[in-house]
Every structure is written in C-alpha cells, then in structure tokens.
Structure 1
C-alpha cells in the first residue's frame, strides 16, 4: 500500500479506513490478534500501533530498534529478518544463533519473518535451525508472559 501512495495520500486516504477496520474487527473479535502490513509505509507504524493493531510490520530497510521505540509497548513487530544474519557465512554457530534469536525476541518482541525464500539459501539446514531457534525462544517467552508477545499469542 505504501509503495503506491505517497505519505500525504496514505494518511489522507488509507489511514481512516485502516482505523475503521481495526475498530470494527476488534469490536467483533476482541481475542483475535490483528496485524497490519503496510509495505512501504512504515512511517505510519506509530499511528497504526495506537489504533488497536496487535502487530505492525517492518520493511527490510527499517532499523529494528527505531521501530520498537516508535511503537513502544503498544504492539508486536513482525518482519525485517534476513536469515542470512544467522549463517555460517556470517560466522554464526548454533550457539550464536540461539543468542541472536533470544536477543531479537527479548529486545524487540520480534516475530521473525523473511522476504527470502528457501530456494535462495545455500544451506537450508541453517535456515531450518534459525527458524527453530526463533520458535523455541518465542514459546519460552510466551510462557513467561513476555511483554510484547503475550498480547499476540495465547498461552497454551
């Protein structure tokens, strides 16, 4: 959406509808997590986080720490994860991968998703391992009532 509309037009035309959608869906389904993906319009994440969305997405060019500071603790963050960050090519080991996954979740409450597809990977085993690390860390954080993640996922 943000790739098509300029910022001024996004706020004028898209924002009122996104707010209406968030309000209506939250009134009908209060226990269902609500995520918004505005590709190319991450400048709007602060406003979107105040509308009731449980998760806002980040594009790959957005600094993660800045994104977290922008939305505060109002919602979770999703996206902006390049699995190549966790490969042997980048001098990562299974232990450093665990530490990186833990840090991204602890500090950002990041829901890791990637624009990269599995076929692009040189080492699919590392891809699987990195996703496994995110999943196991996220499950632990959810069980311990992590401040960003418990709003998104129900503790089972």
Structure 2
C-alpha cells in the first residue's frame, strides 16, 4: 500500500461540485492499493500516518506527529500511485489492485482511521475528484508499506 503524504495548511475534496471532505492543518494522503495488499498492510500504513513525525517542534525540527499536533487527516484514493512507470511512455497498472479489492481496502483504511483518530475525512473511491490543498513547506513523503 502506498501513501503519498503531504503536510497541509488545509485541504479539501470535491465531487460533482459538492465538497465531501475538508481539513485544516494536518495531512492529506493519496492512497494507492496494490495487488498484494491486505488489511494488515492498511493497518500498518495507518499507524505510520498517525505517528510519522513531519510537523515542526519549537526548535523547527520535524519531531511532531499528526496526533501530537491534533491535525486533520484527509484520505484520498488514487489508484495511479500503483502505476509502473519504469519503461515506455505510458504507465502500466499491472501491480495495482483490482477495483473491488482497492475499494474494499480503502474503505477498511478509512473505517480504521475513524475508529483510531477523531478528525478523519475522505475522498470517494472511483469518483472524479477535485482535490485542493495548500502544501505546508512543501513537505511530501512517499510511504510504502
């Protein structure tokens, strides 16, 4: 499972001109699901997202996690993260999970996140989404578990 984590001042997701998710300061994470991913993989990614130290402390060092700063978590499904771009000029999605597996694991991740953390918002699997964010730093990490 892949999480493209971005530290944000704010972020939102809109579908069909309706905002379906919005956070202030926190993490906006694009989620890619691969064929070999399981619920255990999703659990491991979630724990990393909640505890990954990407927020600055009083000495301007990245020592604080999302839970430390009590920021929002916006999870957005993005199957293109699982693309193989190593050859040619067109991405291959051979390593991406089939849509049913991807949706099941994304929804599982969201459910677990909402049970573990108070401020969780999400995008909609399979929808044409517009994602807006103000990247803080910019700080972006590609996390693969």
What range describes the TM-score normalised by the shorter chain of this pair? 0.3 to 0.5
Bigger proportion of residues as strand: 2
Greater relative CO (CA pairs within 8 A, separation 6+): 2
Please give the TM-score of this superposition, normalised by the length of structure 2: 0.33
Q: Which has the larger radius of gyration?
A: 1
Please give the TM-score of this superposition, normalised by the length of structure 1: 0.32
